[in-house]
Structure 1
């Protein structure tokens, strides 16, 4: 499974990447929303984990632009990630076109739940 991880924090990026790779996923890292948008246009990914708050372009805007490119198909699964746990953040993620939103504070179990919910099974 090909995953694009959009995360501006180097520490968070390493931790999340490691967890996804332990599940057999191939991970490409983007450190800001512009880079995520560019990579999503260059390569076919199965899933994007998108940090909501990044420099240059936030995850909300990157998601809106990815969805605009897709048109009505909107087949690419995008999971928002935020350090804020609020209904407002979740609503913002869904309004931007994300399929789900998780808290980065919740830990590996929440990441695993989101991965399974979006793909059902990560091939090894």
Structure 2
């Protein structure tokens, strides 16, 4: 459940990043409202996921989903240039998130009351 919440938070990070780009420095009303609203919701979902996921893994995954997603939207939708250097760097972001998850993402946070480990006791 925590991973589903975290993935949703990461996907919302893509939405708010694109919306804030379209807001042109918060000068456009609706993109600004959408950007700020989805940013707050994304942070709330990240906070919820942190109840049971290790902080380093959860934050890296949240940022990674957002970074990879925004780069993909930029290239595929907004016409930003594709380069192999950019593709390799995005691959490194993905590898880093996968590596962190393999290291400590499988175990719940036993030190957090109210997390999955706290409820099991």
Q: Give the TM-score taking structure 2 as reference length.
A: 0.32
- Rg comparison, structure with higher value: 2
Higher relative CO (Cα under 8 Å, sequence separation at least 6) belongs to 2
Which structure: greater strand fraction?
A: 1
Which structure: greater helix fraction?
A: 2
Q: Give the TM-score taking structure 1 as reference length.
A: 0.31
